[in-house]
Amino acid sequence: MVDIKLTCRLFRNIEANSEKFNIDINTSKTVDSLKKKIFEEVQKKNDKIFSDIKGSNLELWMVQIRDDEFSKLSLENDGTEGIKELEEKISDYWNDENLPEEGFTNVIIDSPLLTALKRLEQYEGVSDYIIPNIHRAGFQDLYYAKIIRINDVLQIDKKYFGTKVFIQCKVVDFDTGILSVMLIDRNEEQKEGIFLLEDLERWLLEHSLDAKDRRSIKYENSGDNIEIIRNGVWLGTIRERKNYYFNNQELKKRHKDSAVKSELKQGENLSEEFNRLDKTEKNQSIATWIDDQEILSIADDANFSRLEALSDKLLSTYRKDTPSLSYITSGMVNEKPAIIAYVNVSKGTLVEIPAEFEGYPVFIKYGIIEPACYTSPVALTPGISISSANVCTLGALFKIENEAETGKTFILAVKHGVGNIDDEVIQPGSADAENGYTVCAKVTKYNFYNVIYEDNEYGRDAILLDYAFCEIVISGKVSTSNTSIHCKICIDNTKDSVNDCYKKYGVCKVGRTTNYTEGSVRDRLQCIFYREFGDVKVLLVKSDKSHEDSKIFGAPGDSGSPVFDKHNKLWGILQGISSDGFTATVIPIHLILHVKRRFGVSFKLLNE
């Protein structure tokens, strides 16, 4: 082990144009000890920067960049050479043969928690201005609503068809609906007379891409592509700020309505009747709520594909201006095919979605997809392993192809359902390992629970990943093959891609709570709202409920269940479920095997 000097710098989300500083440390130390030293050093220089967080809330990234590269730096574990998030031991990154180079920044300090807290502070004092038409908000509305302000920095920081674009401009004036901006670090060129977001995006790209590279760009998602920086703090995209504004206005409206109605003092029944009549009179064409009404699966393949395509179209049409949308799917309601929009607002709230879309009825139902684990001990199904953190299912068996790891066997689970590295996994009967139940596995460092980003022709997708490979330590306490419990199917191969089609496929799963269930999936990633990460893409599986007595697809405790088809092919693992159990999210197995990109190891099924 050797003493090293690391040149460190705060990421721009924490402090714009921060100064570099040095930290001396021995490579025998842990990354946590490095976080502690950095936290203390920053506190000495400015005790206000980290006043709301602890050292453990820091993220450290190994880089090798010069000063002129700092403003364009993107912190992602996406395989970019020289950029890695620091974890566990410092010696994993620097040692006698690989010393940090002088003249470069070696460590970037980030804190998603601190960034979120700063963004919340910036959200205070939102304007009382009412945007008259939420579907056609121009710069005048954005300015009066204080979504965009003079001296704000507007930037594009993303890839267009594989080409990285980073460009910034400053808002210098606003006059009767017309925005004036000035380029930053590009001869301060000024542009006046900008009316629309797409005009601003087009002008910025004219200074970033060649004409031939701009021909295929569709300026339909400018609100997603342009970000706001205020007083050195990144606030997110214009669309995100609009969504916050609309949510804020909805809360104010509901509070005002509640105050007015409380003055009636006519009792609960009169209040409920008032709500019903008030909403009915406002708009007869708005989709109605369905509460406990049964939703069944669409058996006909053609209808299934048609309704699923329309569900995507409805979501893309209304998602931006309806932030309460969780996800949209299809099913049989009142024995007729229908589109069901699940929303994350209280029952009865007015949601401006049409009652009919391209000839099919649209209904609204409360629902949000949550991780499908238990957080306290419950009775278990014998033979299915659980963790000692949250009760979930442990599923398919894998081996590492690396020569040094030969002989080890791993059970695939979800990270949200197991503990930290080296935590125990027990089997079966109780979540309390001290009650005499035998430890069968331990959590390894090969785990991940976050969002990754993949580029597409229109920008990039946020894709949810959630997995943990648990090393078997007592082989006699778990299955030795990938033949699923409660059925005779032996999983012997993995699906290697998502084909982006609407065709209906039959899949099944075996979980510790609902055991064997069947469902339908389309081979296409779908967008849902996830409480922890916002809008993400996953596979959605719907229960094959053809009548009221049919099973739901999943329930708490089923997360981690292998999801596979009749050809013995593993599609992925169950991650979350809707509140009615009708819909489940699945993490595709080919994305889980991105573990190779993150950790440099290749996993394969035990039977392959």
Side chain identity, residue 527: C
Instruction: Say how many C-beta atoms besides its own lie within 10 A of residue 365's C-beta.
Output: 24
Whether the pLDDT of residue 288 is over 90: the answer is no
Sign of CA dihedral 241, 244, 250, 254: negative
The alpha carbon of 312 is separated from its chain's Cα centroid by a whole number of angstroms, namely 18
HSE on the CB side for 40, CA within 13 Å? 8
Contacts of 76-85 spanning 24+ positions with Cβ under 8 A: 76/452, 76/453, 77/452, 77/597, 77/598, 78/452, 78/453, 78/597, 79/597, 85/59, 85/60, 85/61
Whether the pLDDT of residue 15 is over 60: the answer is yes
Across 565-585, average pLDDT? 89
Is the separation of the CB atoms in 568 and 478 below 8 Å? no
**What end-to-end distance do the CA atoms of the chain give, in Å?**
40
Which among 261, 292, 298 is positioned nearest to 278, based on CA atoms?
261
- Pairing between β-strand 438-456 and β-strand 459-472 as defined by DSSP bridges: antiparallel
Is the model more confident about 290 or about 263? 290
56, with CB counted inside 10 A (0-12, 13-18, 19+), is exposed
- The band of 11, judged by pLDDT with boundaries at 50, 70 and 90, is confident
Q: What is the pLDDT of residue 226?
A: 92
Query: pLDDT (tens digit, 9 = 90+) per residue, 433-473?
Result: 444 456 778 899 999 998 888 876 666 788 999 999 989 88
Query: If you count them, how many residues does the chain have?
Result: 608
Across 60-80, average pLDDT? 76
Sign of CA dihedral 478, 479, 481, 485: negative
The alpha carbon of 577 is separated from its chain's Cα centroid by a whole number of angstroms, namely 15
Is the model more confident about 528 or about 299? 528
Q: Where are the domains of the chain?
A: 3-111, 125-243, 246-370, 371-605
Gap between the Cα atoms of 536 and 369, Å rounded? 11
Gap between the Cα atoms of 114 and 112, Å rounded? 6
Q: What is the pLDDT of residue 238?
A: 86
- The band of 168, judged by pLDDT with boundaries at 50, 70 and 90, is very high
Q: What is the pLDDT of residue 534?
A: 84
What is the phi/psi pair of residue 412, to 5°?
-85, 130
- The band of 280, judged by pLDDT with boundaries at 50, 70 and 90, is very low
pTM over 0.95: no
HSE on the CB side for 562, CA within 13 Å? 29
Q: Helix, strand, coil % (nearest 5) of the chain?
A: 25, 35, 40
What is the phi/psi pair of residue 376, to 5°?
-145, 155
Which among 140, 153, 144, 141 is positioned nearest to 182, based on CA atoms?
153
3-state DSSP of 395-458: CCEEEECCHHHCCCEEEEECHHHCCCCCCEEEECCCCCHHHCCEEEEEEEEEEEEEEEEEEECC
Q: What is the pLDDT of residue 376?
A: 46
Gap between the Cα atoms of 7 and 104, Å rounded? 7
Radius of gyration from C-alpha coordinates of the chain: 26
- Pairing between β-strand 227-230 and β-strand 233-237 as defined by DSSP bridges: antiparallel
Query: Residue 462: beta bridge partners?
Result: 453
Query: pLDDT (tens digit, 9 = 90+) per residue, 382-430?
Result: 444 454 445 567 777 888 876 555 678 888 989 988 878 888 877 654 3
Gap between the Cα atoms of 515 and 381, Å rounded? 8
Across 514-522, average pLDDT? 88
Phi-psi region of 599 (alpha: psi -120 to 50; beta: other; left: phi over 0): alpha
User: In sequence order, which residues have a C-beta less than 8 Å from that of residue 300 and are 6 or more positions away?
Assistant: none
The H or E element spanning position 257 is: helix 238-262
- Burial of 209-232, coded b for 16+ CB within 10 Å and e otherwise, reads beeeeeeebeeebbbbbbbbbbee
CATH code at 3-111: 3.10.20.90
Q: What is the pLDDT of residue 23?
A: 95
CATH class of 371-605: mainly beta
Across 492-499, average pLDDT? 86
What is the phi/psi pair of residue 430, to 5°?
-160, 155
Is the separation of the CB atoms in 425 and 387 below 8 Å? yes
Phi-psi region of 305 (alpha: psi -120 to 50; beta: other; left: phi over 0): alpha
Q: What is the pLDDT of residue 270?
A: 37
Query: pLDDT (tens digit, 9 = 90+) per residue, 177-212?
Result: 678 899 987 777 888 878 788 889 999 999 998 888
State the average pLDDT for the chain. 78
Q: What percent of the chain has pLDDT over 70?
A: 76
Q: What is the pLDDT of residue 261?
A: 43
Side chain identity, residue 202: R
Query: pLDDT (tens digit, 9 = 90+) per residue, 42-64?
Result: 999 888 888 777 888 899 999 98
Instruction: Say how many C-beta atoms besides its own lie within 10 A of residue 103's C-beta.
Output: 8
Highest mean pLDDT among 65-74, 312-321, 586-595: 586-595
Helix axes 238-262, 268-282, angle to 10 degrees: 130
Query: pLDDT (tens digit, 9 = 90+) per residue, 223-260?
Result: 889 999 887 777 788 887 877 777 666 655 554 454 44
Is the separation of the CB atoms in 468 and 418 below 8 Å? yes
CA distances 63 to 43, 269, 594, Å, are 23, 63, 21
Q: What is the pLDDT of residue 318?
A: 86
Whether the pLDDT of residue 519 is over 70: the answer is yes
Is the model more confident about 116 or about 547? 116
